[in-house]
Amino acid sequence: MFRPYTNAPDGFVSNTLFYGWKLYSSVDIRYADTKDVVTCSTGRVMLIEIAMNFLAVYLALKRSRHALLLAFATSAFVFWKTFWYLVMYIAPPAGTPSFFTDNYGYLGITLIFWIPNGVWVVMPFLAMCALWNRLALPVEYQEQENNNYEKPPGLSSLSSP
């Protein structure tokens, strides 16, 4: 998970390959802490989401009927994980330490924290909306749409009685 390299103060790798991460962690203290359990956990979940997205692309190339459902599920995971993460920063209970650094004002926090994280909420939501219309077809169109995919051997078309 490259955490030691992302926050190295003067390392070549941290100033080039991980520059975006370093900039982001200059605002979000959780990302600056290499032992923060929340960011370590979400990082592991991201690895699963990446694998699921690659599998969804592979299934789409194979014209599998499972591709859309997997892409929808993965988008939902990304949406809700990011939404949950952002909610931790909205009106935290009194006495809770702030996880924003004092290095930036509201504009810096908006540009470096809220907008980039907002993309990770908006884009999966748009993908879910687009996929929902493909997944929630009216009954009369489902059979027609499902005929566009390869069916496993032995699976015949379902007909209504």
3-state secondary structure of 27: coil
**Cβ neighbour number for residue 146 with a 10 Å cutoff:** 13
Rounded CA-CA distance 32/15 in Å is 14
pLDDT number for residue 34? 78
Going residue by residue through the chain, which has 161 residues, state the pLDDT in tens, using 9 for 90 and above. 555 566 666 777 777 777 877 787 778 878 777 788 888 888 899 999 999 999 999 999 999 989 999 999 999 999 999 999 999 888 888 888 888 877 788 898 888 889 999 999 999 999 999 999 888 876 666 666 666 666 666 655 554 44
CA distance 87 to 109: 15
Contact 23, 109 (CB under 8 A): no
pTM as predicted: 0.73
What pLDDT score was predicted for residue 160? 44
- Which helix (DSSP H) or strand (DSSP E) does residue 48 occupy? helix 37-61
